[in-house]
Amino acid sequence: MSNIKKITLITIIAILLFFQTNIFAFEIEEETDYIWLQEEIENVSANPVNEPNLSSRYAVVMDRNSKEVLFAKNENQRVPMASTTKIMTAIVLLENLGVNNNLTLNTQVEVCKQAGTIGGSRLGLVTGNKITVNDLLYGLMLCSGNDTAIQIAVSIAGSVEEFANLMNKKAEELGLKDSHFVTPHGLDEQEHYTTAYELALIADYALNIDKIAEVVRTKTYTVNINGNSKTINNTNELLGYLNGVNGVKTGFTNGAGRCLVTSVNRNGFNIITVVLGADTKKIRTRDSISLIEYTYSNYELINLEKIIDEKFNEWCRINKKRVNVYKGKKNNVEVKLEDYKHKIYPIKKDNIQNINVEFKDIQMNFEAPININTKVGELILRVSDKEIMNIGILTGENIERKDIKDYILECLSNIMK
């Protein structure tokens, strides 16, 4: 090999190594094999399992109503999450419109050089292009544009670094302990990470924002760049093909592997599934389908409010007159349950017969005065040995202490009997 060829080869290798994170970390979506996808959906649906066997390294299924984890695999491990990062980017965008800036969704912005030259998956922005914030959002969440992510960051906060600070501030507000953001797009960075569980929480929060829910359930959309129309497609292969899927976001880098966050609603049973660290797109798709079908095959939403009310009313019929008040203007006190969150709750079908309610630490005797919401005891709801809820039993009224007048009237009443 000639010296010139050697120098050229070494130069190419050096350039590739230098730009490794930007070249090989692109989220380039493979074409979806929809024939395979349909066969996979039919196969998983026809062969329900009691426990998913996943190839993805990290996964979680979360019920959106109760935030209960229904399945988990390494769900608390800190890992890179690629373009699923953009779920948080969308949150920060929408919550900071008009905050220290004059932006609305309809505002047209000029694309900066940093956005126009970023690599990876792109909407196709060029430095100096004009585009609305609304179209940036669709480009971010549908075709996973790294260029749109950079432009959103610069438009909202002035720089990527300041936008990342807003992302981390939001993570702190959400109580996330194992998530940290360096970029708005998710290309691999050492200090850019989350967990499968916390990513599910982020997605759940995002879907409560109407605009994000609208965007991520959109299959195709036409944006306008510099006066030219461009139709873009959602990279989420399950959207429109698997029953109930209504979002959320795909992702891929070398460090993160193939990633998919999916939101599903079937008859009011809302779940979020997260798979991270899949080796191929087909694996992430298969694992996501498996998690979704496993959940709906094995879990059922149970009306716990009905069960709790029936048990509490039965307890009251027996014990209401036994909650005594000494030296009070009333001898007994009305009782009630404190407010509780999970009135509808997902329970494994083979565990429904193991729902139990018990009453604990009941105090039957009080001395007046008594304030409303004084704790009388607890109602405990368990499924098998797992405690699902601990609900306080409280006094439902104020009862004043008797005064001398009350004692005189009581004596007269007894005399007159």
Which residues does the annotation mark as catalytic?
83, 86, 144
**Does residue 404 contact residue 381 with C-beta atoms inside 8 Å?**
no
The amino acid sitting at 264 is V
Nearest-angstrom CA–CA distance, 143 and 30:
12
Nearest-5° angle of CA 64, CA 184, CA 126? 130
Number of other CB atoms surrounding residue 129 within 10 Å: 21
3-state secondary structure the chain: CCHHHHHHHHHHHHHHHHCHHHHCCCCCCCCCCHHHHHHHHHHHHHCCCCCCCCCCCEEEEEECCCCCEEEEECCCCCECCHHHHHHHHHHHHHHCCCCCCCCCCCCEEECCHHHHHCCCCCCCCCCCCEEEHHHHHHHHHCCCCHHHHHHHHHHHHCCHHHHHHHHHHHHHHCCCCCCECCCCCCCCCCCCEECHHHHHHHHHHHHCCHHHHHHHCCCEEEEEECCEEEEEECCCCCCCCCCCEEEEEEEEECCCEEEEEEEEEECCEEEEEEEEEECCHHHHHHHHHHHHHHHHHHEEEEEHHHHHHHHHHHHHHHHHHHCEEECECCCECCEEECCCCCCEEEEEHHHHHHEEEEEECCCCEEECCECCCCEEEEEEEEECCEEEEEEEEEECCCECECCHHHHHHHHHHHHHC
For residue 166, what are the contacts with CB-CB under 8 A and spacing of at least 6?
92, 96, 156, 157
